[in-house]
Amino acid sequence: MQNSMFRLEMLKEGRSIRLPILLIFYNSLLAFVTILFIFFHNESMQAGYYSSRSSFLAQFLVLSSVQIMAVFILIPFAVSSMEDTDRTVSEQFMMIPGVVRYRIIAKIYVLILTNLLVFSSSLPIITLSCIYSGISLLKIIRLLGIIAIFSFWGGSIALFCYSINKRSVFAFAGTVFTYFMLSIGILLFLEVIRNISLSLSGSGEIASGVTVLCLIANLFNPLTVFVGYYENFTGNIPMITSYFGNFGVDVTSTRFSYLYFKAATLVCILVGFVFLISAIRFYVSEHQA
């Protein structure tokens, strides 16, 4: 039954006109960014500047940023389309024992594979920056893995929001709100806590509890995984070092950074599983009621 649900979701997604249109606009955007980089690079060369590997490395980092941001933008729309299509499925089909659970899992598979397909379609464009920057194949494979993790994380949250909201508008808004609170919201919350701690401290030092809270809270922030990927390219990022330094955390240690960002990746996956299991339970209880 699991294969049948997965095959059904793949056929629906493959026959939809949304996917080819998405591929066209997605790759057009990446191509436009690449052309801009090439244009400004040629202009700088004519102005007497030397060509360097760092400019092409920056080009790859910008392209990868666009790709990762596209995952969070596209997933709510993709899940919304899936849920609207599910309303045409007969109730008799949905009452088959176990079909709801397999259907939710199939949706996660389709979301991950769709995002990986979109990423794979952009490989010719990404290769242009990889050739000149000397980026290895392993870095691209790691970017592929991060996109898969974010697809699972974002898809699980979106399915959970659609399982507890009957109206698509509220579910869509809830998905975007959850994304915001688990990323930018955590940063804003920690900044408020830091300012309160500084105002209460006579010595102007951060309390140890705030430092621990910063480390724990940022483990649940998907942007931490995003930063860990960048640090693998550029080493210590001054902005990130300054951010953690404001909370009394020294991230210049290579071992600490490696373990911390790997732990953030595992937490991101675990959070996705929590939302996915919760979504399955809500969907099952709804159809059994």
- pLDDT by residue (tens digit) across 138-163? 888 888 888 899 999 999 999 899 88
Contact (CB, 8 A) for 4 and 29: no
What pLDDT, on a 0 to 100 scale, did the predictor assign at position 287?
60
Residue with the larger pLDDT of the pair 228 and 215: 215
* Residue 203 to residue 189: CA distance in whole angstroms: 22
* Residue 69 to residue 14: CA distance in whole angstroms: 23
What pLDDT, on a 0 to 100 scale, did the predictor assign at position 270?
95
* Residue 41 to residue 52: CA distance in whole angstroms: 10
Least confident segment among 126-130, 166-170, 199-203, 236-240: 236-240
Token duo for residue 112: 């991950």
CB atoms within 10 A of CB 241: 17
Residue with the larger pLDDT of the pair 19 and 142: 142
Which letter does DSSP use for residue 90 in this model?
Answer: -
* Residue 128 to residue 56: CA distance in whole angstroms: 9
Token duo for residue 163: 């399982």
* Residue 179 to residue 72: CA distance in whole angstroms: 8
Confidence of residue 223 (pLDDT cuts 50, 70, 90): confident
What pLDDT, on a 0 to 100 scale, did the predictor assign at position 12?
67
Question: Is the model's pLDDT at 289 over the cut of 60?
Answer: no
What pLDDT, on a 0 to 100 scale, did the predictor assign at position 271?
94
Contact (CB, 8 A) for 244 and 214: yes
What pLDDT, on a 0 to 100 scale, did the predictor assign at position 200?
79
Per-residue model confidence as pLDDT tens digits over 175-219:
999 999 999 999 899 889 888 888 877 666 778 888 888 889 989
How many percent of the chain have pLDDT more than 90?
Answer: 13
In 3D space, the residue among 159, 248, 136, 155 whose CA is nearest the CA of residue 201 turns out to be 248
Residue with the larger pLDDT of the pair 32 and 83: 32
* Residue 1 to residue 23: CA distance in whole angstroms: 30
Residue with the larger pLDDT of the pair 76 and 59: 76
Q: What is the pTM of this model?
A: 0.84
